[in-house]
Amino acid sequence: MEKIRVKASSEYDVLVGRGLIDICGELVGKVIKPCRAALITDDTVDGLYAARVEKSFEKSGFKCIKFVFPHGESSKSFANYEEILEFLAENKFTRSDIIVALGGGVTGDLAGFCAASFLRGVRFVQIPTTFLAAVDSSVGGKTAVNLKAGKNLAGAFHQPALVVCDTDTFNTLPEEVFADGVAETVKYGVITDKKLFETMQGNFKADIEKIVAACVKIKAQIVANDEFDTGERMLLNLGHTIGHAIEKCSDFKITHGHAVAIGMAVAAFAAEKEGIAERGTAAEITDTLIKCGLPTTCGYKSAELAESALSDKKRSGGEITLVLPERIGKCCLKKIKTDSLLSFVSEGIEGANKYNT
Ligand code: NAD
Ligand code: GLY
């Protein structure tokens, strides 16, 4: 088992290993005294892992209650957020109790936001069960729900007390869902780590624990430097401005990781056209994503995507910050006027479409 320390405003460990689901209660018990634990999970993960998690928590002295919601991005909603808060209140949860987010990024973001706001903040533990949640969303304390206007528009920074990642849980993931995590892993490679990027071009599944640990180490360092997303942490949004717009335009039929993959390709082609990225960078990113079974184009028009992207959090007044690759392993932040966004998106979409034909 690997242990990675996240040195945020409240520090915690991320534990990565195999077979941790059956001892998660014991692991949590080392950092939190036995208390009541509200397990929040979706209906798919409930059927797969909740009983084992409950058994382990109860064995370590925790008293569990459980809230289950339907799987999928549309559950990351204000309605579910409110229902969970009412559930906690009805069960007379107090600040000495904990929330346990068991599942993918939807569960972690939703349960995390409940933990951030119930009684002005209670402790919570992340038990990620998707590759995406393991490498990204369970670490760093960003929690949120979606609004009609866009992704993650209501949320809070609230760090977990512990993250327990059992990589064996990936064995039950459908290929498409696994690929969502691959997109975020390729993203880490493009941002900071050429070697990790190259690893993702080969047969990487045998090394999954090491890959999760490598991604968590990168994220832990970035979060330690810029927990509240005012500078360096924005690099983690590579592919996300267009990605979030694609998710929204598709009514969330295109999943987060798939949308981010397209967003990365679009950003890379735009960056090359603007002379920011070294020649060949966009092709290398696109080829790698395709090899990993991910899309790099979509049917949406540049104008639709640019319009949708303007309701993103990355907009500030009349400007929006884009993350653009310079080469594999190095990205930069570029502030542009919102009026220039359409031409950036058009350049990127055109480049990606041309490359794919
Ligand atoms: P998800 O939570 O919807 O999970 C995807 C699907 O996999 C669901 O249907 C779920 O039921 C199923 N599933 C989960 N674990 C399983 C398992 N072990 N076996 C079989 N099926 C399983 O989606 P996701 O891709 O994990 O997360 C996407 C979300 O994460 C998006 O809402 C995105 O905005 C968010 N996100 C947040 C951050 C952050 O920093 N907070 C970072 C990246 C992404
Ligand atoms: N996933 C982006 C971040 O945590 O900042």
What's the topology of domain 175-355?
Dehydroquinate synthase-like, alpha domain (1.20.1090)
Residue nearest ligand 2's atom 3 by CA:
236
CA distances in angstroms from 238 to 74, 123, 213, 282, listed in the order given: 23, 30, 20, 13
With tokens 């997109």, the residue in question is 183
Burial degree of 87 (CB within 10 A; 0-12, 13-18, 19+):
middle
Ligand 1 contact via 106 beta carbon (within 6 Å): yes
Per-domain residue ranges of the chain? 2-172, 175-355
Ligand 2 contact via 244 beta carbon (within 6 Å): no
For residue 76, which atom of ligand 1 is closest to its CA? 32
pLDDT at 317: 79
Ligand closest to 238 (CA) is: 2
Ligand closest to 243 (CA) is: 1
Q: Do domains 2-172 and 175-355 have the same CATH topology?
A: no
> CA–CA separation, 185 vs 315, rounded Å?
25
334: left (phi over 0), alpha (psi -120 to 50) or beta: beta
pLDDT at 89: 98
Ligand 1 test: best mutation among 127, 131, 177, most atoms within 8 Å of CB?
A: 177
> CA–CA separation, 62 vs 75, rounded Å?
27
**From the candidate CATH numbers 3.20.10.10, 3.90.1150.10, 3.40.50.300, 3.40.50.1970, the one assigned to the domain spanning 2-172:** 3.40.50.1970
pTM for this prediction: 0.97
Ligand 2 contact via 142 beta carbon (within 6 Å): yes
For residue 237, which atom of ligand 2 is closest to its CA? 2
Per-residue pLDDT tens listing for the chain (357 residues): 999 999 999 999 999 999 999 999 999 999 999 999 999 999 999 999 999 999 999 999 999 999 999 999 999 999 999 999 999 999 999 999 999 999 999 999 999 999 999 999 999 999 999 999 999 999 999 999 999 988 999 999 999 999 999 999 999 999 999 999 999 999 999 999 999 999 999 999 999 999 999 999 999 999 999 999 999 999 999 999 999 999 999 999 999 999 999 999 999 999 999 999 999 999 999 999 999 999 999 999 999 999 999 876 667 778 999 999 999 999 999 999 999 999 999 999 999 999 988
pLDDT at 126: 98
> CA–CA separation, 38 vs 19, rounded Å?
22
Ligand 1 contact via 56 beta carbon (within 6 Å): no
Residue nearest ligand 2's atom 2 by CA:
236
- The closest alpha carbon to 106, from 245, 308, 214, 255, belongs to 255
pLDDT at 55: 98
pLDDT at 250: 95
pLDDT at 313: 66
CA–centroid distance, 258 to ligand 1, in Å, is 12
For residue 139, which atom of ligand 1 is closest to its CA? 40
For residue 144, which atom of ligand 1 is closest to its CA? 41
